[in-house]
Amino acid sequence: MGSINPPSSFYDSVWRVVAQIPVGRVTTYGDIAAHLGRRGAARIVGWALKDAVGGDLPCHRVVNRNGVLTGRRHFETPHVMAERLRSEGVTFVAEDQVDLDAHRWRPGKR
C-alpha cells in the first residue's frame, strides 16, 4: 500500500514500452525498469511480461542483462523465443544468448 504506481499501472507502462521495441532489436528487463524510473524493478518487469505472453506484444524481444533468454519458458515451447528473434535477424553468441552489443535497444534513446 502507498505504492507510487500500483502494479496494474506499472504493468501498463511496461507494456507500452515493450510495444515500441523495434523488429530486430532487444532490450533488457532492467532497461525497461530504469526507463520507467524504477531502477531495481527488473523482476517486476518480468512479471508484467509473463502476464502479456501470448498476446500481441513482442515480449520475445526482452532479455536479461546478459542477453540470455530467461523468459523462454513462458512461451508455447522453450524454443519459440529464440526462433522469433532469429527470424527478425537477431544474432546469438550462444544457444540461448543474443548478441546484446549488436542488437540492444534502450527505451527513450536514439
Contacts of residue 23, Cβ cutoff 8 Å, sequence gap at least 6:
58, 88, 89
Nearest Cα residue to 58 out of 96, 88, 89:
88
Q: Is 59 a catalytic residue?
A: yes
Dihedral pair phi/psi, residue 14, rounded to 5°: -60, -50
**What 3-state class would DSSP assign to 51?**
helix
Out of 41, 49, 59, 82, pick the active-site residue. 59
Dihedral pair phi/psi, residue 98, rounded to 5°: -75, 160
The three three-digit cell numbers of residue 60, written as one number:
520475445
Residue type, 28: T
| Catalytic annotation, residues | 59
